[in-house]
Structure 1
Amino acid sequence: MKKILIFSLLSGFLNVVAQDLDFSKMIQPVPQSAKFEDKGYMVWCGSMVKGDDGKYYLFYSRWPQSKKHLAWVTDSEVALAVANAPTGPYKFVKVILPKRDKKYWDADVTHNPTIHKFGGKYYLYYMGNYGNGEWWDHRNHQRIGVAVADLPLGRWKRSDTPLVDTTPNAFDHLLTSNPSVAQRPDGTFLMVYKAVSNGKMPFGGRVLHGVAIAKHPEGPFVKQPKPVFVKDTVKFAAEDPYIWFQEGKYWAIVKDMKGVFTNVGTSLALFESPDGLDWKPAKHTLVSTLEIPWQSGTEKVVKLERPQLYFENGKPTLLFCAVYVSETVNYNVAIPLKN
């Protein structure tokens, strides 16, 4: 009886730990090596995976610095950097998803990479677009795709058509972007993605998030009817979701555009879900304000976006973020996490 009681108390404690995940207390001082820049380029996004060779591979977006920040929508390409340690320093290796023939849906731009290894293969989910060179034309042609390879430095096979396209008159009528994918306990795959509904052009309607499920990492992904991360009538509440499954539930970090979830202004917010379909703000909603806690001192930044996690033994140990400093200065940072 005593052993049963102890086990019950321990199980209850573990459940509390899972429910009370608090990233604001997990964030640790950041070494200078964890700052990644690519000379001559704007750097955005950043998703890392450890290869079988023991090296660390960072997939990121870049475009010419001379074109400034907003050119992500017309000129971005997904590139690869490598390091011998998870916090870097990372060095550019090559472009992974360059421009290609105009007949393709992602002919001009690749962006928003998020990398996963499922069943011995690497899956790189991303946003792609094509357009006439005009900003809004490219923005509204955003769609989600996937590229597959046997090795991070191997040959990447891109999808010839979007993995998640738009649905007329649905919440994702205009565009799909910002994909995030997690494998479910039953072996299927959950995707959460950003979308824009129908509305006055060129912006369109509300910026919302959808959920889709597939039996295979290459799809087909079946969309679920209800958008998530919704806040009353707020037109643009969140973006940049990153989802994962840990200790019996689903979690998501999103960019809280105006602080409608964290109540501290623009920030990163934590959500939780029992099934990946119905989401609510977690008990400790705040992940981070717009600050980088360098070992040498705290830096206040203008934007902190595109959160991505790296895991060791099933626990998040690094939070990768894109940092905006000015129209010509961006970088990626790997923020250590304490478990």
Structure 2
Amino acid sequence: MSIISVPEGLRLAYRAKFELPDWNVWGSTMLRTEEGTCHLIFSRWLRSLGHQAWATHSELAYATSSHPEGPYEVQGTALTQDEEGKWDSGGFHNESLIEADGVYYLYYIGQHGNGEWWNHRNNQRVGVAVAEHPSGPWKRFDKPLLEPRPGHLTTGTPHVFKRPDGKYQMVYKTVTEGPMPFGGSVRHVIALADHPLGPFVDHPEPFIRTPRTHFPIDDHVEWVQDGRYYAIVKDNKGEFTGMHSAMILFESEDGFHWELSRDPLVMKPQLTWEDGVVQHFERLEMPKLYFENGKPAILYLAGLPKGSEHSFMVAVPLNKAF
């Protein structure tokens, strides 16, 4: 069994599911403040537009709960589409929230476009907003945090954590140059900064890649614990475990050179609910973590069930053997 995994035989309470009647809910990021309130920032867009509208109509909303697993109550929006002309005026997605020295930093994908799916996807950029509290208000910036450059058609899906040496490490997704509209291979890059606002500079060592496929991993979350680095990633093509879309574990001694864990499976793309119903997913991804006593306790995931266009967030408790 993996050193961090979903408990065998887990039956998940329905209150751990966060869904909205009129919205598709996608990835989420949560921090708990000292008084005990759990602050959740998540992606949403109108259900009536279908699942693929994440690229053209997504916004970031805000919800709270007294318990990390929920239930959560929506409080409003955090970042929403606004006037044309801004680099991120066409939507916000794939959020990641950290706190540093009493300031909150919300990393996200910002995008703009003409309303066509590929146009928005190919104009994705990593951005950051800043606030004094996770409830906002959030200050955006006039420019992305990471611009495209030679070899990088896009930048997106950021996650940031603080290293023991005091630096901030980001892993983000990029698309290499290639035939349009898709571009080339989907790859992930490590970048370092001395401050949460950057500048983030790419590290020469690539993050988890393989020459056998052009899209080996997708969504991801990294952290450091007891001097060792860990990452939960989506096995996008089943290349590492033979299980398409499974959540799997990688480890590293320095945060740069990563190896597949001895027992890598964190969870399969399915859930068993408290009444025994087993639900299978077309996509169960966008992992984020909630920590208790410095150890990961809950895995937040975005889920799109098979045969459905309606997505939701789910909070899954973890076994851990650290």
TM-score (normalizing by structure 1)? 0.90
Of the candidates 211, 225, 239, which is equivalent to residue 204 of structure 2?
225
How far residue 299 of structure 1 moved from its aligned partner, in angstroms, is: 2.0
Tell me what 1:209 maps to: 188
After superposition, where does 1:293-304 map in structure 2 within 5 Å?
293-297=272-276, 298-304=278-284
Tell me what 1:238 maps to: 217
Deviations 1:72-99 (A, max 9, x none): 0000001111111111111111110111
Partner Cα separation in structure 1 for residue 295 and residue 11 of structure 2: 18
Of the candidates 116, 135, 138, which is equivalent to residue 153 of structure 1?
135
Of the candidates 23, 30, 44, which is equivalent to residue 62 of structure 1?
44
Partner Cα separation in structure 1 for residue 15 and residue 7 of structure 2: 22
How far residue 21 of structure 1 moved from its aligned partner, in angstroms, is: 2.1
State whether structure 2 residue 55 is matched by structure 1 residue 73: yes
State whether structure 2 residue 284 is matched by structure 1 residue 310: no
Partner Cα separation in structure 1 for residue 58 and residue 318 of structure 2: 29
How far residue 102 of structure 1 moved from its aligned partner, in angstroms, is: 2.1
Partner Cα separation in structure 2 for residue 40 and residue 312 of structure 1: 33
Of the candidates 254, 260, 272, which is equivalent to residue 281 of structure 1?
260
Paired positions, count: 318
**1:24–1:286: 8 Å Cα contact kept in structure 2?**
no
How far residue 140 of structure 1 moved from its aligned partner, in angstroms, is: 0.3
How far residue 235 of structure 1 moved from its aligned partner, in angstroms, is: 0.6
**Alpha carbons of structure 1 residues 318 and 291: separation in structure 2 relative to 1, 3 Å:** same
Of the candidates 226, 230, 250, which is equivalent to residue 271 of structure 1?
250
Tell me what 2:4 maps to: 22
Tell me what 1:331 maps to: 312
**2:78–2:136: 8 Å Cα contact kept in structure 1?**
no
Of the candidates 118, 132, 146, which is equivalent to residue 164 of structure 1?
146
User: Which residue identity is paired with 1:308?
Assistant: K
Partner Cα separation in structure 2 for residue 217 and residue 267 of structure 1: 30
Tell me what 2:80 maps to: 98
User: Which residue identity is paired with 2:197?
Assistant: E
Partner Cα separation in structure 2 for residue 98 and residue 22 of structure 1: 35
User: Which residue identity is paired with 1:202?
Assistant: P
Tell me what 1:7 maps to: none
Partner Cα separation in structure 2 for residue 294 and residue 116 of structure 1: 30
How far residue 295 of structure 1 moved from its aligned partner, in angstroms, is: 2.4
How far residue 294 of structure 1 moved from its aligned partner, in angstroms, is: 2.2
Paired residue secondary structure (2:286): strand
Paired residue secondary structure (1:130): coil
User: Which residue identity is paired with 1:273?
Assistant: S
**Alpha carbons of structure 1 residues 27 and 203: separation in structure 2 relative to 1, 3 Å:** farther
Tell me what 1:11 maps to: none
How far residue 129 of structure 1 moved from its aligned partner, in angstroms, is: 0.2
- Runs of 4+ aligned residues of structure 1 deviating over 6 Å after TM superposition are none
Tell me what 2:118 maps to: 136
TM-score (normalizing by structure 2)? 0.95
Of the candidates 106, 110, 126, which is equivalent to residue 92 of structure 2?
110
After superposition, where does 1:42-53 map in structure 2 within 5 Å?
42-53=24-35
**1:317–1:336: 8 Å Cα contact kept in structure 2?**
yes
Partner Cα separation in structure 1 for residue 142 and residue 10 of structure 2: 41
**1:110–1:127: 8 Å Cα contact kept in structure 2?**
yes
User: Which residue identity is paired with 1:180?
Assistant: H
Tell me what 1:13 maps to: none
Paired residue secondary structure (2:311): strand
Which protein shows a greater Rg?
Answer: 1
Tell me what 2:178 maps to: 199
Partner Cα separation in structure 1 for residue 148 and residue 207 of structure 2: 16
How far residue 29 of structure 1 moved from its aligned partner, in angstroms, is: 3.3
Q: Relative to total residues, which structure has the larger helix share, 1 or 2?
A: 1
Paired residue secondary structure (1:157): coil
Q: Which residues of structure 1 form unaligned runs of 5+? A: 1-16
